[in-house]
Structure 1
Amino acid sequence: MTEPSAASTQEHRSTPVGPPENPGSGHARPAIIKTDLPSRLDRLPWGRFHTLIVVALGVTWLLDGLEVTLAGAVASALKSSPTLRFSNAEVGLTGSAYIAGAVLGALGFGWLTDRLGRRKLFFITLALYLAATVATSFSWSLASFIVFRFLTGAGIGGEYTAINSTIQEFTPARVRGWTDLGINGTFWIGAALGAAGSLVLLDNSLLPGDWGWRACFLIGAALALVILPMRAWIPESPRWLLTHGEHHEATTIVERIEARFRDDGHTLAQDGLHQLRLRARDHTPLREVFHTLFTLHRRRALVGLSLMTAQAFCYNAIFFTYALVLTDFYGVPGDHVGWYLLPFALGNFLGPLLLGRLFDVVGRRKMIAATYAISGVLLAVSGYLFEQHLLDVTAQTIAWMVIFFFASAAASSAYLTVSESFPLEIRALAIAVFYAFGTALGGIAGPVFFGRLIDTHQRSAVFTGYLVGAALMVAAALIAAIWGVDAERKPLESVASPLSAVADGE
């Protein structure tokens, strides 16, 4: 294919209109930019560039799944370690440190991502994760382990905000739902990797007892080392650049991406491109951020908070107490729990992968409501069967596989919802706010609540916990069905108009 002429390329270039913001300065920017760059990104076919984005950035979910699984898998090794000798309470404290780090990291790095750019932050957050998880493997005391786990969580929390916003802004609108859900589902590849790795590395015949758990934490570091150089090929988000007045750099990036597709033989349509008018800004004040989230888009905020809280409670309550149910009620030896995590992880991975396309075809509201409601009802039914002693350990594992086939797609759709329902200028921080709220309300309270129910050794008490989780999922389904946003196949700018958008008459 031949490259388009200079004239045709110029026809679609971002164009500054109106007077500059600072006409007397040496670094004047246009006050308003007229551009079709977002529309040009949405018209692209899927190609190697998008695959690179998915692999280099989507690894975040895999790393989180790995870390969460390892935290439970190495618990007994940490208690028997000659160096650490943690108590049960201290093991729980280290888990809380990781979650606290993830929450604070998401909020802090989310704010920086919207202010400084996606690209800078996804290097910083991955580097922090890499350094912290390596440091964890060299921990020498409870205090050092807690600090390093906190920093590991901060890196992962920051990754969520920078990564999800970047992926959303590069992915064509027609496949945004399936892509986002598929990436989120890789959390469970990491969980399976953590379970399998722990089964091997915690084997005392292979490594001494105090070496195995240390080697486990190096698995994530090795993956991060592989991925870090790949991110050097990913440009800054043109959408972010446009809202910050960097229209020339944004145009250059989009033209380079388009050139790759033309070199691969694709013909890119030149008509039907939507023009945007944006007023450049350096940053968005926090007061405007929270006004947008909780006043201008308060219904969307309610939907996002409901979805995030319900899935966080359901997931963390059951996943973090998974081993306790198996050992206390089914007599599964602690060192065999990993074998039951593998099929659980498989169901969770397949859900978003196989159902993801329906979120783009059937629609967001219908699929979000359906997956939340189905998983809630199935959780209540399986809880009743558990309470009535009608399930053996194999049947219980199959039941959880089926439930979380739907629940995994539901949970992934919560992240999709909060990342596409709010304006571009605050997208990363919006992800961080709802991730933090959901984790605090559902992720921290859930495991503690379920842990106490399991300590009663009464199946009826555990069934009560399952009913609470089921009720939250069904309530979230109803809220999404009533107030959810039909964002399927729509450009991000149509789902939520940028705060910097300017009407044609202005």
Structure 2
Amino acid sequence: MSVETGRITTDIPARLDRLPWARWHWLVVIGLGTVWILDGLEVTIVGSMSDALKPHDTGLGMNSFDVGFAGAAYVAGACIGALFFGHLTDRFGRKKLFMLTLGIYTIATVLTAFSPNPLWYFAARFLTGAGIGGEYAAINSAIDELIPAAHRGRVDVAINGSFWVGAAAGSLLTIPLLDPSIVDPAWGWRIAFGLGAVLAAGILVVRRNVPESPRWLFIHGREDEAEEIVRDIERTVQEESGARLSEPDDTITIRQRKSIGFGLIARTVISLYPRRTILCFSLFVGQAFLYNAFFFTYGDTLTTFLGVKQTGWYIAVFAVFNFLGALVLSPLFDKVGRVRMIAGTYILSGVLLGAAGVFLGDFNAVTLTMMGGVIFFFASAGASAAYLTASEVFPLETRALCIAFFYAIGTAVGGISGPLFFGWLIQQASADKDITAIAAGYFVGAVLMIAGGVVEAFLGVKAEGRSLESIAQPLTVEDDGGSGDDDRPLRTRPAPAG
């Protein structure tokens, strides 16, 4: 139950948003954002290592169903972990949870590497997914609350796009690890998982220096801690940039609470922001279906229809296009605007995907990979912006849980149905080796992406350059009427002079 503990007027959000970019912000990016590299590494290694897990002598004696079940266990863990840890992130703070979830991922990955049997492997994959799912909620909320408003869009999109750095690394890593002349087959897949744990341990060391979100602290009655952290950030940024900081131009009055009830959070999302709920649902389902359907069955498509024996090189090229798209296009989400860029990337990638389906029979392995690269150059920026949207357009008290909710829904709806649908299409067409028979999957993905873009065009929120508090008022704000979906700016008081 929520209990009011006091009321304060603070200028902390304005002070954080007016900071110039400095090395300190790179600490936040590296300490928090690199988890997406881990996820990309994890997913790609698992997809590439499926055959290595099947032998009884060097693997775990798993069959194709077992491999698919392990993938489903990872997805289920990610969905449950996102919801469970997302709620805890809003309740107990960003830092406690982003340390905990990365620790869970690290331990679970080590357990995966030492799996003695399939049951152990399934359980370890579920826990690994739970850690990664919790990371999505804790990290996105923390990043957005620490990064200045002028840079928030490009940073979020680029960080989410770094998933593909891990995917490319994982693809290339599997090439020597799956070569029996280089690595013993009994150790190759175990080493791959072990390397992920080593990288995660390194990130944990860096992450210890990232502070708790001052925004979360002052709402939960810990304004002295928030003030101390912000003063330290200001001092560090001023020393690093050499710039004289301007005075903050507004304040916000908050009714502090130790905790916010889950019922209030749910009512807020459903009743106060119904259009934003529809928007996030459309964006997450579209991108989850597209990526999980196309990318995670792409190796199977290459081997079944196009005679490719070693898929690692192709997947690595595909991953590079994805990362470049998020990196190159990310500044435009702040300059051109969220609505135009998200709608444009979703619709354009959907149209290109539909065209690829029409001409699918004319591609070979190289040209299909290049076409896929072009499609996902745009789609990766749009998909990354789906996470940005969920983390911006809901109140601070609900931010982590909202990210978790839409991630879980999108993954459950698109992330499970997509691979099952594509897998069924590939199996049906494998006897005739007719790649055109899987075009239906391309068309469904194209429709969902275009639909997401259209919804963004009509319901999108112009969040570029705005403080989080002006996009969605905190539930505890001292104000005589929340803005909700009418998107009115938050009324703030001018900061006191002196």
TM-score by length of 1: 0.92
Going from structure 1 to structure 2, the CA distance change for 1:504 and 1:92 (only over 3 Å counts) comes to closer
Q: After superposition, what is the alpha-carbon deviation per residue over 1:199-237, rounded to whole angstroms, capped at 9, x for unaligned? A: 112221122111110001011101011111111111110
Identity of aligned residues (%): 50
Query: What residue in structure 2 maps to residue 359 of structure 1?
Result: 333
How far did residue 383 of structure 1 move?
A: 1.1
Query: What residue in structure 2 maps to residue 446 of structure 1?
Result: 418
- 2:7 alignment partner, SS class: strand
Query: What residue in structure 1 maps to residue 133 of structure 2?
Result: 157
Query: What residue in structure 2 maps to residue 50 of structure 1?
Result: 25
**From 366, 390, 397, the counterpart of 1:418:** 390
**From 135, 143, 152, the counterpart of 1:167:** 143
Q: After superposition, what is the alpha-carbon deviation per residue over 1:306-333, rounded to whole angstroms, capped at 9, x for unaligned? A: 0000000000000111011101111111
Query: What residue in structure 1 maps to residue 231 of structure 2?
Result: 255
Distance 1:265 1:310 in 2: 41
Q: Supply the AA of the counterpart residue of 1:320.
A: F
Superposition misfits of 4+ residues, deviation over 4 angstroms: none
Contact preservation (8 Å) 2:357, 2:436: no
Distance 2:15 2:409 in 1: 35
Query: What residue in structure 1 maps to residue 157 of structure 2?
Result: 181
Once the two structures are superposed, the pairs formed by residues 347-386 of structure 1 within 5 Å of their partners are 347-386=321-360
Is it true that 1:327 corresponds to 2:299 in the alignment? no
Distance 2:10 2:223 in 1: 8
Query: What residue in structure 2 maps to residue 289 of structure 1?
Result: 265
Distance 1:379 1:104 in 2: 31
How far did residue 504 of structure 1 move?
A: 7.8
Q: Supply the AA of the counterpart residue of 1:411.
A: A
Query: What residue in structure 2 maps to residue 427 of structure 1?
Result: 399
Distance 2:117 2:238 in 1: 56
Distance 1:206 1:367 in 2: 45
Query: What residue in structure 1 maps to residue 427 of structure 2?
Result: 455
How far did residue 503 of structure 1 move?
A: 2.1
Is it true that 1:396 corresponds to 2:373 in the alignment? no
Once the two structures are superposed, the pairs formed by residues 234-273 of structure 1 within 5 Å of their partners are 234-264=210-240, 266-273=242-249
Query: What residue in structure 2 maps to residue 482 of structure 1?
Result: 458
Query: What residue in structure 1 maps to residue 167 of structure 2?
Result: 191
- 2:331 alignment partner, SS class: helix
TM-score by length of 2: 0.93
Contact preservation (8 Å) 2:339, 2:461: yes
Q: After superposition, what is the alpha-carbon deviation per residue over 1:270-304, rounded to whole angstroms, capped at 9, x for unaligned? A: 43521000010111111111111111101000000
Query: What residue in structure 2 maps to residue 36 of structure 1?
Result: 11
Is it true that 1:275 corresponds to 2:251 in the alignment? yes
Contact preservation (8 Å) 2:153, 2:334: yes
**From 351, 373, 381, the counterpart of 1:409:** 381
Contact preservation (8 Å) 1:81, 1:210: no
Query: What residue in structure 2 maps to residue 26 of structure 1?
Result: none
Distance 2:23 2:480 in 1: 36
Query: What residue in structure 2 maps to residue 14 of structure 1?
Result: none
Q: How many residues align?
A: 475
Query: What residue in structure 1 maps to residue 73 of structure 2?
Result: 97
**From 188, 210, 219, the counterpart of 1:212:** 188
Is it true that 1:60 corresponds to 2:32 in the alignment? no
Distance 1:466 1:197 in 2: 29
Contact preservation (8 Å) 1:277, 1:504: no
Contact preservation (8 Å) 1:118, 1:236: yes
Contact preservation (8 Å) 2:20, 2:241: no
Q: Supply the AA of the counterpart residue of 2:336.
A: V
Contact preservation (8 Å) 2:23, 2:240: no
Contact preservation (8 Å) 2:326, 2:381: yes
Q: After superposition, what is the alpha-carbon deviation per residue over 1:433-491, rounded to whole angstroms, capped at 9, x for unaligned? A: 00000001100010001100111214343111110100000011110000010001100
How far did residue 126 of structure 1 move?
A: 0.7
- 1:183 alignment partner, SS class: helix
How far did residue 85 of structure 1 move?
A: 1.2
Going from structure 1 to structure 2, the CA distance change for 1:281 and 1:443 (only over 3 Å counts) comes to same
Query: What residue in structure 1 maps to residue 114 of structure 2?
Result: 138
More off after superposition, 263-272 vs 33-42: 263-272
Distance 2:465 2:238 in 1: 23
Distance 1:302 1:461 in 2: 32
Contact preservation (8 Å) 1:168, 1:420: yes
Going from structure 1 to structure 2, the CA distance change for 1:139 and 1:272 (only over 3 Å counts) comes to closer
How far did residue 242 of structure 1 move?
A: 1.0
Going from structure 1 to structure 2, the CA distance change for 1:339 and 1:254 (only over 3 Å counts) comes to same
- 2:311 alignment partner, SS class: helix
More off after superposition, 220-229 vs 267-276: 267-276
Is it true that 1:74 corresponds to 2:46 in the alignment? no
Distance 1:137 1:176 in 2: 37
Q: Supply the AA of the counterpart residue of 1:71.
A: V
How far did residue 391 of structure 1 move?
A: 1.3
Contact preservation (8 Å) 2:21, 2:241: no
**From 110, 124, 142, the counterpart of 2:86:** 110
